[in-house]
């Protein structure tokens, strides 16, 4: 027995539920193959019922007293769960957060360059963290930062929404922009819809 709390090498603790003859308690709370509550029965009896249906007896709540078991096709159950997990991973959007740093007294040319980079990031589906860096006396003029970020938010309003409003963070001011959801191709422009709706 290991008293140190460290698992000995080579010992593998399975996260799979107990099933069939690995369920060794005297009685269980049984759930049928269609989700019907059968009640508390002897484990041998539950096992026999599962075998007659050519299915598995699976422990679904080991901490319950007595443990809850269900009659099911465990192979099919595992397969369907794996498919659902794969689908969920496929549908998950992992947005990258890019960062763009600006100064409160940025020149027009530099602003335009940074703006084009921000728009490029947003079109690629990335979020953009915009940081205004204050130096020296600029720290006493936070309104300059707010004004610049408001201008930027306005300039990218067609391709982005402000996800995190401007906030002072020490010497910096931060705002996060997120790309707007793209309209589906099935949506026609309003003008086209109006033309179709006109009766001749």
For 88-128, the pLDDT digits (tens) are 777 665 667 899 999 999 999 999 999 999 999 999 888 99
- Across 33-42, 78-87, 190-199, least confident range: 190-199
In this prediction, residues 52-69 reach a mean pLDDT of 92
pLDDT for residue 77? 86
Report the largest interatomic distance among the alpha carbons of the chain, rounded to a whole angstrom.
89
Helix (H) or strand (E) holding 116: helix 108-123
**Mean pLDDT of the residues in the chain:** 82
pLDDT tops 50 at residue 87: yes
> What pLDDT, on a 0 to 100 scale, did the predictor assign at position 114?
95
Mean pLDDT of 33-49: 93
* Mean pLDDT value of segment 7-24: 69
Domains of the chain: 20-76 (3.10.20.80), 97-179 (3.30.110.10)
pLDDT value for 53: 93
Assessment of whether the complete model's pTM goes beyond 0.85? no
For residue 170, give Cα distances in angstroms to 109, 134, 147, 176.
27, 9, 18, 17
pLDDT above 70: residue 189: no
Task: Work out whether strand 68-72 and strand 27-31 pair parallel, antiparallel, or are unpaired.
Answer: parallel
């Amino acid at each position: 027995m290991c008293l140190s709390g460290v698992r000995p090498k080579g010992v593998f603790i399975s996260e799979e539920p107990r099933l069939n003859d690995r369920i060794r308690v005297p009685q269980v709370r049984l759930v049928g193959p269609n989700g019907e509550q059968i009640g508390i029965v002897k484990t041998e009896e539950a096992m026999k019922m599962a075998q007659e249906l050519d299915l598995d007896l699976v422990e679904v709540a080991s901490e319950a007293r007595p443990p809850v078991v269900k009659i099911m096709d465990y192979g099919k159950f595992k397969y369907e769960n794996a498919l659902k997990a794969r689908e969920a991973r496929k549908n998950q959007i992992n947005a990258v957060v890019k960062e763009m740093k600006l100064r409160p007294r940025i020149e027009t040319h530099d602003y335009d360059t940074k703006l084009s980079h921000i728009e490029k990031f947003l079109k690629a589906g990335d979020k953009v963290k915009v940081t205004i860096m204050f130096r020296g006396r600029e720290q006493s003029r936070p309104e300059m930062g707010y004004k610049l970020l408001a201008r930027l938010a306005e300039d990218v309003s067609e391709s982005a929404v402000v996800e995190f409003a401007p906030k002072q963070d020490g010497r910096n001011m931060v705002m996060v922009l997120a790309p707007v959801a793209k309209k589906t191709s099935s949506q026609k422009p309003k003008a086209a819809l109006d033309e179709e709706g006109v009766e001749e």
